[in-house]
Amino acid sequence: MSSLVKLEEAVGINFQNKDLLKQALTHRSYLNEHPEFKFGQNERLEFLGDAVLEIIVTEYLFVNFPNTPEGDLTNWRASLVNAKMLYQVANNLGVENYLLLSKGEAKDKNTKARQYILANSIEAIIGAIYLDQGIETAKGFIVKNIISQLDAILKNQTYLDPKSKFQELAQEKEGITPIYKTIREEGPDHEKLFTVGLYLGEELISEGDGLSKQEAQVKAAEMGLEKKGW
């Protein structure tokens, strides 16, 4: 049994066009070393899958929580579609075993960049499912693997935005509005790693890393909450 068939079993879908699944697993770095590869990389599928994921999660929340304010629904949706959640889904499905990466990228395991690649691959797989079998099959995959995490998110209140929470508590307890400053930027443009500092006045409270400034700020806020015991 081929590895592609094993992944289809994990995903729970038998693709009519296997090439779509192969493309969903192909990182741009792989094409640098294999220019003859005919399927292309996965960024266009990722673009499509991101939109499919967003509309299906949005519709689910809108229909099933008719009395919930828009602001709460937005936070819940963000918790379901963010890179951390999609990385967990990729881990659960064992997607890393099937990624097509350059030799250099393949060696870079257990890094934030790899987590980001895996999260993006889930969006690309969703895009591939949508093209291959339509919106209802894509919805089934999303409900089973992503929306199923909603109960735990609500129970543990992990949907609360760390930045908002830190700001409210900093203003309440210390009368100061926190600010974020970029400390350094590392890596190539398409996979840059940002380190951001969280400050109360001149005091550096915590630092956070991320593949975007926003992600780094959220990590810094999470660390700040922990450090302050808030």
- Over residues 112-130, the pLDDT tens digits come to 788 999 999 999 999 999 9
Q: For residues 11 and 91, state if they share a domain.
A: yes
Number of folded domains in the chain? 2
Supply the pLDDT for residue 104: 79
Band (46; pLDDT cuts 50, 70, 90): very high
Q: For residues 120 and 43, state if they share a domain.
A: yes
Q: Is 59 a catalytic residue?
A: no
Per-residue pLDDT reduced to its tens digit, 48-99? 999 999 999 999 999 999 999 998 898 899 899 998 899 999 999 999 999 9
Catalytic residue selected from 43, 59, 108, 123:
123
Q: For residues 134 and 66, state if they share a domain.
A: yes
Task: For 127-153, give the DSSP string.
Answer: HHHHHHH-HHHHHHHHHHHTGGGHHHH
Residue 101 has pLDDT above 80, yes or no: yes
Query: How far is 213 from 105, CA to CA, in rounded Å?
Result: 22
For the chain, the first-to-last Cα distance in angstroms comes to 52
Q: For residues 16 and 95, state if they share a domain.
A: yes
User: If you search the block for the tokens 């915590």, which residue do you land on?
Assistant: 206
Minimal CA–CA distance to 73: which of 192, 1, 199, 159?
A: 159
Q: For residues 181 and 67, state if they share a domain.
A: no
Left (φ > 0), alpha (ψ -120 to 50) or beta: where does 110 sit? left
Q: For residues 101 and 174, state if they share a domain.
A: no
Catalytic residue selected from 50, 105, 132, 215:
50
Query: How far is 179 from 176, CA to CA, in rounded Å?
Result: 9
Which of 100, 134, 156 corresponds to the end of one domain? 156
Per-residue pLDDT reduced to its tens digit, 173-209? 999 999 999 999 998 877 789 999 999 999 999 999 9
Please tell me whether the overall predicted TM-score, pTM, comes out greater than 0.75 for this model.
no
Between 183 and 3, residue with greater pLDDT? 183
Q: Looking at residue 17, what DSSP letter applies?
A: S
Q: For residues 22 and 58, state if they share a domain.
A: yes
Q: Residue 201: exposed, middle, or buried by beta-carbon count in 10 A (0-12, 13-18, 19+)?
A: exposed
Phi, psi at 179, each rounded to 5°: -130, 155
| CATH number of 97's domain | 1.10.1520.10
Residue 1 has pLDDT above 60, yes or no: no
Q: For residues 100 and 203, state if they share a domain.
A: no
5, 18, 59, 79 from 37: Cα distances, Å: 20, 15, 37, 35
Which tokens in the block code for residue 229? 């015991």
Domain with 179, as residue range(s), is: 162-228
Window from 32-41, 42-51, 179-188 with minimum mean pLDDT: 32-41
Per-residue pLDDT reduced to its tens digit, 132-182? 999 999 999 999 999 999 999 888 777 877 888 899 889 989 999 999 999
| CATH number of 197's domain | 3.30.160.20
Query: How far is 9 from 21, CA to CA, in rounded Å?
Result: 12
Supply the pLDDT for residue 71: 84
The binding site for Mg(2+) comprises 46, 120, 123
Supply the pLDDT for residue 103: 84
Which of 104, 132, 156 corresponds to the end of one domain? 156
Supply the pLDDT for residue 96: 93
Average pLDDT over the chain reads: 92
Which of 96, 131, 156 corresponds to the end of one domain? 156
Q: For residues 126 and 22, state if they share a domain.
A: yes
Parallel, antiparallel or unpaired: strands 193-200 and 203-210:
antiparallel
